Homo-oligomer: A and B are copies of this chain.
């Protein structure tokens, strides 16, 4: 590796001047600057990232912690983060927590050891977990730049963003109710997953609003995987008094329900209407196309990266942003069968 000293030597000057010249900082005569640039190029000089970082205390790297990159809602979010980050000169480190609080904490610890400039925590159950809240507080106090995505409970000392899960669920449920369904099954996520809880609350509130009794027997708890949607959906459909509509807390499970309905020979939406949440790519490819709640994934990612990097670039701002994005219900054939052209 060629160092700044070698460049300085060949250019008959010193490291300080080379540094200033190459970084366009401070004064340096046009002529010496040109000379230095020529020599640097000839020697194929490239600054040593680590050394520079050690000095400047900036790595130009942000870390992203998400439950699982293989979960179809994340790639697009990640792409949004990456594009914005690259645009602003940052690289992106990505790790999976599998939504395990211990793992999230472990990763937060690793990344806060001065290897990255900031961290985006796309939390699983996340902020709902006490240990994680404490960890976040601690990091924030230690000056670690952090943005939390997903569900945010308290006024944590971080910037955060999430979509309005309650509202989204409320609205799809209302859509189903308006179609005349009064027995709607809900397939939730893991009991401790805050996102699922919120969606469940939205579902419940909509029922209430329509004067329909909330009934525990119509709520099943899955794990956000297709298999669980399939199993629980099948169970719902095989009951003596099966619900006429099923709303799953995410699209992946909703697709499982569609497969179950198909297997049982139930027509969708005539015999059973099905709705999901997320609007993953495949929601509009599967047949029937899936009614769901759409969140602008790419934009969420992009916005998250922007918030984080902005936070990185300012000192001691103790007012935190809390952005809650409005979701949008997308009505498709799985609840309403009518061609619109």
Contact = CB atoms under 8 A, between A and B. Distances in A.
Contacts of A63: 91
B82 A78 contact: no
Nearest to A78: B69
A19 interface: no
B91 A49 contact: no
B286 A113 contact: no
Interface in A277-303: 281-282, 285-287
A221 interface: no
Interface string A84-107: 001000011111100000000000
Nearest to A142: B1
Given A70-B76, A86-B95, A93-B61, A262 B282 contact: no
A82 B95 contact: yes
A29 interface: no
Q: How large is the interface on A (under 10, 10 to 19, 20 to 34, 35 or more residues)?
A: 35 or more
Nearest to A69: B75
Given A50-B53, A51-B54, A69-B79, A92 B91 contact: no
A281 B282 CA distance: 10
B93 A47 contact: no
A50 B61 contact: no
Given A48-B113, A79-B68, A93 B93 contact: yes
Contacts of A96: 79, 82-83
A115 interface: yes
B86 A49 contact: no
Interface string A38-58: 000000001111110110000
Interface string A266-286: 000000000000000110011
Interface string A1-12: 100000000000
A89 to B, nearest CB: 10
Contacts of A93: 61, 91-94
Find the residue from A47, A69, A72, A112 having the highest chain B CB count within 10 A. A69
22 contacts: A47-B113, A49-B115, A50-B53, A50-B59, A50-B114, A50-B115, A54-B54, A69-B69, A69-B75, A70-B78, A70-B79, A72-B281, A74-B75, A79-B96, A82-B96, A86-B95, A91-B110, A91-B115, A92-B94, A93-B94, A255-B285, A262-B287
